[in-house]
Amino acid sequence: MSPRRTVALVTLGCARNEVDSEELAGRLEADGWELVDDAADADVAVVNTCGFVEAAKKDSVDALLEANDLKGHGRTQAVVAVGCMAERYGKELAEALPEADAILGFDDYLDITDRLQNILAGGKHVSHAPRDRRKLLPLSPVERQRAAEDGAVATPGHGPAAGAAGAAGVQEPAETPIADLPEGLAPVSGPRVLRRRLDDSPVASVKLASGCDRRCSFCAIPSFRGSFLSRRPSDVLNETRWLAEQGVREVMLVSENNTSYGKDLGDIRLLETLLPELAAVDGIERIRVSYLQPAEMRPGLIEVLTGTPKVVPYFDLSFQHSAPNVLRRMRRFGDTDRFLGLLEEIRAKAPEAGARSNFIVGFPGETEADLAELERFLTHARLDAIGVFGYSDEDGTEAATYQGKLDEDVVAERLAKISRLAEEMTAQRAEERVGSTVTVLVESIDEDEDGSVLGRADHQAPETDGITSLTGSLEGVKVGDLVEAKVVASEGVDLIAEQIGLAGSAAGVGA
């Protein structure tokens, strides 16, 4: 009997990419592949790339080159690129990076096993020519949903409806219940798409949707992720239940724009209905919603996000800027006073609500007065976390054609100035939390050195918003426990909190 083929998945970029990797892992394992953590132990290394900004693209290329260096020195025979950068550039990336044995787009995901086996057998894969994926599905959101269910276009995280499997090449039968799937595998979009967790963290992301219908002038994501496409609530609920069975305590809902969820299913307020149902899933103690558009926030959604038990009052609001002239050129809406009013409305209902955002400085046409307006907003917004990026042209975007580009040294100067202000204001916001009581989800315990216990409070999302270090009598505390603690100090955006008691426990999680 020949040994099982081994595969390692290397994931870069956002939480949406992490879910895509777990979907690919589920497909591969169901087809008999052995998943390994280290690319050096794999027959084929699959690098899930990010194609968002230049720094992310560079990281993706570096990861591919690093994996390529393993060939000839161990087990690794092939290196394959998937993900956003692979989808966005296709043949262009293949020509620029011959070290990669294949560049696979989203349309290859359903047949990932066949693709990898062919590559290991010495076959050549012809990379796709990049195309605007917004044009692959109907313009009408409702018609788009029907076309996606028919399997007309491959969309990561979305499976075709019953009866479409033959044409799409999906292996699992539509009627397969969760209990009959191989151990550790779960449906991502009904029983037709599988997911395999790649870590044992008590936190996991769940996709609400894919793609985006907004046309921000600086963003290329819709062109390679496609038009906005919601997943059905039953699929999201099934996946969340399965994650709870795997020991997950916190679920983070992700997409390119969660505030649009349900519009293609005929109900733009579907998120307000879904959140209480997710919070009722046994074993799930915390629901977090990311990627919210300020222009699409509505009173009912704010009410649910601030008033539903287990749904944390956390607002990841994509402001991008606050000067109205810059926002109009970005093809976005709002201004400083409207944004401050939105935050005031949120805090009137939940004073300790978490709020974060990202901003672009140096956008074409940005004046000193525009920059001062952004400074005014940041000074008064009391945001918990702030990401600041200097503008750079992105291929295929409207902004790349704009006049009024600023010199690189001016952009760098403004980036440094706003970054300093952001650091100062977020540290100040963290200091405001000293003396408050927080609920911390324990994510790691350093048993080899000082025994430090690290986790995140309600206002801290994974990887982006800082951490909370726990002190006090922590004997018996486990990864996955929810700990009530009093904040005693802050260090930048990070908190130090003393345990008061357990808010809940997760026996066996992380054991």
Report, as an integer, the average pLDDT of 490-506: 85
The two tokens of residue 163 are 């009866």
For residue range 241-273, what is the model confidence (pLDDT) as tens digits? 999 999 999 999 999 999 999 999 999 999 999
Q: Which pTM was predicted?
A: 0.87
CA separation for the pair 102, 124 (Å, rounded): 8
Helix axes 408-432, 368-381, angle to 10 degrees: 10
For residue range 164-189, what is the model confidence (pLDDT) as tens digits? 332 222 223 233 333 344 455 444 43
CA separation for the pair 191, 239 (Å, rounded): 10
CA separation for the pair 322, 398 (Å, rounded): 20
CA separation for the pair 148, 234 (Å, rounded): 16
Residue 350 near residue 430, CB atoms below 8 Å: no
User: For all residues of the chain together, what is the average pLDDT?
Assistant: 87
Residue 137's SS3 state is coil
Q: pLDDT at position 504, please?
A: 57
Residue 503's SS3 state is strand
The two tokens of residue 397 are 């975007």
CA separation for the pair 1, 114 (Å, rounded): 20
State the sign of the Cα–Cα–Cα–Cα dihedral 332, 336, 341, 342.
positive
State the sign of the Cα–Cα–Cα–Cα dihedral 281, 185, 193, 18.
positive
Sorted by sequence, the CB contacts under 8 Å of residue 382 that are 6+ apart come out as: 343, 355, 425, 428, 429, 432
More confident residue, 221 or 383: 383
Q: Residue 509: is its pLDDT beyond 90?
A: no
C-alpha to C-alpha distances, 296 to 299, 300, 338, nearest whole angstrom: 10, 11, 13
Report, as an integer, the average pLDDT of 102-123: 92
CA separation for the pair 85, 94 (Å, rounded): 11
Name residue 356's beta-bridge partners.
Answer: 316, 385
Q: pLDDT at position 356, please?
A: 98
Sorted by sequence, the CB contacts under 8 Å of residue 445 that are 6+ apart come out as: 451, 452, 453, 454, 477, 478, 479
More confident residue, 472 or 506: 472
Q: pLDDT tier at 149 (50, 70, 90 boundaries)?
A: low
At 279, which helix (H) or strand (E)?
Answer: helix 270-279
The two tokens of residue 184 are 């550790």
Q: pLDDT at position 505, please?
A: 46
Q: Residue 374: is its pLDDT beyond 50?
A: yes
Q: Which of 388, 364, 385, 384 is nearest to 374 (CA)?
A: 388
